[in-house]
Amino acid sequence: MRGADPSSPNPSPVLPKSLTSQGELVRTLKTEKAVKADIDAAVKLLLKLKADYKQVTGQDYKAGCPPLESTVLEDTGPAAAVDGEDMVDPWNVSTTSAKGVDYDKLIVRFGSSKVDQELVDRIERVSGKKPHRFLRRGIFFSHRDMHQVLDAYEKNKSFYLYTGRGPSSEAMHVGHLIPFIFTKWLQDTFDIPLVIQLTDDEKYLWKDLSLEDCHRYAVENAKDIIACGFDVNKTFIFSDLDYMGASPDFYRNVVKIQKHVTFNQVKGIFGFGDSDCIGKIAFPAIQAAPSFSNSFPQIFKGRKDIQCLIPCAIDQDPYFRMTRDVAPRIGYPKPALLHSTFFPALQGAQTKMSASDANSSIFLTDTPKQIKNKVNKHAFSGGKDTIEEHRKYGGNPDVDVSFMYLTFFLEDDEQLDKIRQDYASGALLTGELKKRLIDTLQPMITAHQERRKQVTEEMVLKFMTPRPLDFNF
Ligand code: TRP
């Protein structure tokens, strides 16, 4: 997927203006017979502005003819952020930095807001609960409109949660649990309805898989999701392949969204090209539709004004920038968002865990022994080469994958802090750090497997049946 030039000006409706003035400058320089070098420089900038314009709008720039309002997205520019070496879009995440993606830069690029201490404190005040470790540790690091959600909540206006998963295989890894663990906490904390979209249609369109397999993976993945502890009376899980056909209201929203997004826009946001199948081009509307409460009449009694909050990994933001752009134009509230960082691969934070590479991930089906071996063998270490050197100079927790995983899963802040200090000072060796991680992961995964075993086909069916939930709207 093509990325934006980081040095290019922010693509926005302002672009034609700078293009106009640059065009005028070139003309003036030429009529005034300015120095050739000056003219050349001005022409070069003009061409660059035109190229940027085309990338954002998908149209050639015509002087005095601004793009249609709807071809320029409100929030920010293209989804792919090639920022220095970082690359983030819904399908790829990579960076050359061992510390991982620079998330502060991503906030600037995507035009979202930082989850700062003030917001974390406010969530604590409003909910009366200790903030989840993912909030305390900056794992859910970015948001859109969270203050608005809290303002409304304080005035007794409820909201609902929406998250999802693309079921590309039966195997889920611990990284896949991050949004669900956090969503469960949000649901318990605010006592609100939750809808979970399983995009089996998306995986069919993007991968070399049969429809039957994608649907089967959706149901299998639903079991792992249910095993996170969601309340069946407050949660609706749906497969797109099932629900799209069963719910006229959902499909009506899909069509409304499709009418208000142009091919140019999705090209700009997702980088689709001429040889992508039309299913992909139409798909973003299907991921957008659950952001609107009247897509679920059985839960919200046809109301269209219930605010939606979407916890997701930052790579899903392009879908929701599009959604937020469309929302006011079809008379719906914009969904709010909470974005998480990626869960790093065992080999290092340059990329995220991938279900298709067994050695890069800890799977939810791994045995205690497999977990131990994978961590010991594959977890990238920030330790020194020899014990002597390590004791002398200390390790680097910022690039150490075992330490990073502990920040996700070790609940105790003091213990975590002590591990960091001891590792950095050299008091704690790599093998010892890895053991801490193994001791944390093994019981966690075993407990998950136990809970998953308890999930019956009947329970899955109940979660996946469109029905009213325990809320009065
Ligand atoms: N596209 C997502 C994936 O491939 C799945 C998804 C659908 C999703 N709706 C969502 C993720 C809402 C987060 C929030 O995994």
State the angle between helix axes of 430-453 and 174-190 in degrees (0 to 180), rounded to the nearest 10. 60
Q: What's the pLDDT score for residue 6?
A: 33
Please check the confidence at residue 14 and state whether its pLDDT lies above 90.
no
pLDDT tens by residue, 60-72: 555 544 333 233 3
The protein residue whose alpha carbon is closest to atom 11 in ligand 1 is 164
CA–CA separation, 414 vs 350, rounded Å? 28
Mean pLDDT (the chain, rounded): 88
The protein residue whose alpha carbon is closest to atom 14 in ligand 1 is 163
Please check the confidence at residue 331 and state whether its pLDDT lies above 70.
yes
19-23, 36-40, 136-140, 411-415: least confident range: 19-23
405's tokens: 């995983």
Q: What's the pLDDT score for residue 72?
A: 34
Q: What's the pLDDT score for residue 19?
A: 63
Which is more confident, 252 or 349?
252
Q: What's the pLDDT score for residue 92?
A: 72
Confidence of residue 57 (pLDDT cuts 50, 70, 90): low
pLDDT tens by residue, 250-276: 999 999 999 999 999 999 999 999 999
Decide if 240 contacts 198 (C-beta within 8 A).
yes
Please check the confidence at residue 55 and state whether its pLDDT lies above 90.
no
User: Ligand 1 pocket test: which of 221, 287, 314 has the largest number of ligand atoms within 8 Å of its C-beta?
Assistant: 287
Please check the confidence at residue 9 and state whether its pLDDT lies above 60.
no
Angle at 73 between CA 71 and CA 77, to 5 degrees: 115
Kindly give the distance from the C-alpha atom of residue 164 to the centroid of ligand 1, in angstroms, as a whole number: 4
Domains of the chain: 1-72 (1.10.287.10), 105-345 (3.40.50.620), 348-453 (1.10.240.10)
Q: What's the pLDDT score for residue 1?
A: 35
30's tokens: 């030429």
Query: What is the chain's alpha carbon radius of gyration, rounded to the nearest angstrom?
Result: 24
Other C-beta atoms closer than 10 Å to the C-beta of 414 total 7
Kindly give the distance from the C-alpha atom of residue 233 to the centroid of ligand 1, in angstroms, as a whole number: 22
Please check the confidence at residue 363 and state whether its pLDDT lies above 90.
yes
Is the CB of 201 within 6 Å of ligand 1? Answer: no
Is the CB of 163 within 6 Å of ligand 1? Answer: yes
Q: What's the pLDDT score for residue 120?
A: 98
pTM: 0.83
pLDDT tens by residue, 385-403: 999 999 999 999 999 999 9
Is the CB of 315 within 6 Å of ligand 1? Answer: no
Is the CB of 164 within 6 Å of ligand 1? Answer: yes
The protein residue whose alpha carbon is closest to atom 8 in ligand 1 is 164
pLDDT tens by residue, 150-180: 999 999 999 999 999 999 999 899 999 999 9
Identify residue 160 by its one-letter amino acid code: Y
pLDDT tens by residue, 110-135: 999 999 999 999 999 999 999 999 99
